Amino acid sequence: MKCWIFAALLLLSSPGFAQPLATLADGRSGDLEFNTYSPTGHNAIAAGTFDRKAVPIRGQLYLPTGSEKVPAVVIGHTVGGVQPFLVTRWVKALNEAGIAAFVVDSFGPRRMFNMWSQGRTEFNGAFLIADAFKALELLATHPRLDASRIGFLGFSMGGFTAQYIIHEKFRRSVLGDSPVRFAVGIGHYPGCQYNFFEEEASKTPLQLFLGEKDDWLPAEHCLRYAEFLKGRGYAINVKTYAGASHGYDQDDPIKTLPDASSSADCDPLLINLDKPLAPVRLRDGSALSSDTELRAVVGAVYKWARSCSSKGPSAGISPGQGDRRDDAVRDTLVVLGERFKLRP
């Protein structure tokens, strides 16, 4: 266990950048630096109009033992950044199952620490979509990794991203004509207040795991969104853990986070990526704004977010059925095993 903790701390404290990598053809693993982008909004990604200036970030690639070709997952961290449990629990379990894991640090290289203590516009999370796809593109060049079997596994804020990477509009905006795509998206305790869809349903399956007692990013929002996607032909499955709170797979007991903002009272927005400037409310389909000018629509979204957010959600392992560490790992490996066609 000590070696896993050391690896996690190494990722958290990695020094400055060398030359970012464009390929992993030499088969390396460990600390990897690569270029991505920092879009400032989802509309910019959907329209392909974001700044293409290269932004270097890093991740830690962990390969299972052996020399055979294996599947992989890109791991998206929480609003608290890369935390040790992602390595000590998740990477360990994935590697033991014969799956490589790439833990991407989207915060540290950008000099960010957590989502709730820094009031910066980048925290709309749009850059996480670019990070995920650029990580996928890099992994696809590794000789030990099967490019057709790379999934995305995200937690909390990373769970948002798991929903976004299934959409072709986002993929093509970041990767252009590249044929690589994620084989599956998996999100644990994600937020579903920004619900994207396309006229043509994605072929990438999505699995969401939710906490019944999550008062930060309520399960109810994701359940309604999942029903909407199913009705449009998307391949989506949802599992809700009874009695579980936000962060049910982490190691800390449940606690209140007084500075964090909850979306529990928000009526989620439904956004057609083929018409991104016309968000409607998921509950009743009413338009958020009658305006179609970008600045006005963005302003309406920010006003909506401020009006329905509240402070002081909780996170961690709650008493009773709240400890879902083993369940979360087991159920995730089942999904990946089926998708990657792994032997039981």
Helical pair 157-164 and 126-139, crossing angle rounded to 10 deg: 70
- Whether 298 is covered by a domain: the verdict is no
- Whether 179 is covered by a domain: the verdict is yes
Residue 58 DSSP SS3: strand
pLDDT at 118: 46
pLDDT at 9 over 80: no
Residue 41 burial by Cβ neighbours in a 10 Å radius (0-12, 13-18, 19+): buried
Beta bridge partners of 145: 70
pLDDT at 117 over 70: no
User: What's the token pair of residue 98?
Assistant: 């014969």
- Whether 226 is covered by a domain: the verdict is yes
CA distance 292 to 91: 44
Contacts of residues 285-293 at CB distance under 8 Å and 24 or more positions apart, as own/partner, are none
Share of the chain above pLDDT 70, in %: 91
pLDDT at 8 over 60: no
- Whether 11 is covered by a domain: the verdict is yes
User: pLDDT grade, residue 18 (50/70/90)?
Assistant: low
- Whether 310 is covered by a domain: the verdict is no
pLDDT at 76 over 60: yes
Residue with tokens 């338009």: 287
* Average pLDDT across the chain, whole number: 91
Task: Please answer whether residues 101 and 94 qualify as being in contact, where contact means their C-beta atoms are separated by less than 8 angstroms.
Answer: yes
- Whether 51 is covered by a domain: the verdict is yes
The CA-CA-CA angle for residues 30, 141, 165, to 5°, reads 90
Query: Residue 79 is part of a domain; what is its CATH number?
Result: 3.40.50.1820
Segment holding 70, helix H or strand E: strand 70-76
DSSP for 129-173 reads HHHHHHHHHHHTT-TTEEEEEEEEEEETHHHHHHHHTT-HHHHHH
Domain total in the chain: 1
Task: Please answer whether residues 58 and 34 qualify as being in contact, where contact means their C-beta atoms are separated by less than 8 angstroms.
Answer: yes
Give 115 or 113, the one with higher predicted confidence. 113
pLDDT at 122 over 60: no
Residue 314 DSSP SS3: strand
Beta bridge partners of 104: 59, 76
Segment holding 236, helix H or strand E: strand 236-241
Give Cα 311 distance to the centre of its chain: 23
Residue with tokens 């200036």: 53
- Whether 54 is covered by a domain: the verdict is yes
- Whether 296 is covered by a domain: the verdict is no
Residue with tokens 């996607």: 229
Task: Please answer whether residues 109 and 58 qualify as being in contact, where contact means their C-beta atoms are separated by less than 8 angstroms.
Answer: yes
pLDDT at 1 over 50: no
User: What's the token pair of residue 12?
Assistant: 């958290």
CA distance 15 to 10: 9
User: pLDDT grade, residue 123 (50/70/90)?
Assistant: low
Q: pLDDT per residue over 281-327, tens digit each?
A: 988 999 998 888 888 988 898 899 888 888 999 999 988 899 999 99
pLDDT at 329 over 80: yes
Residue 141: how many CB atoms within 10 A of its CB? 15
For 80, the domain range is 2-256+315-340
Give 35 or 122, the one with higher predicted confidence. 35
**Residue 52 corresponds to which amino acid?**
R
Q: Which of 11-25, 268-282, 301-315 has the lowest mean pLDDT?
A: 11-25
CA distance 135 to 57: 10
pLDDT at 22 over 90: yes
Q: Cα torsion at 263, 306, 193, 158 (round to 10°)? A: -80
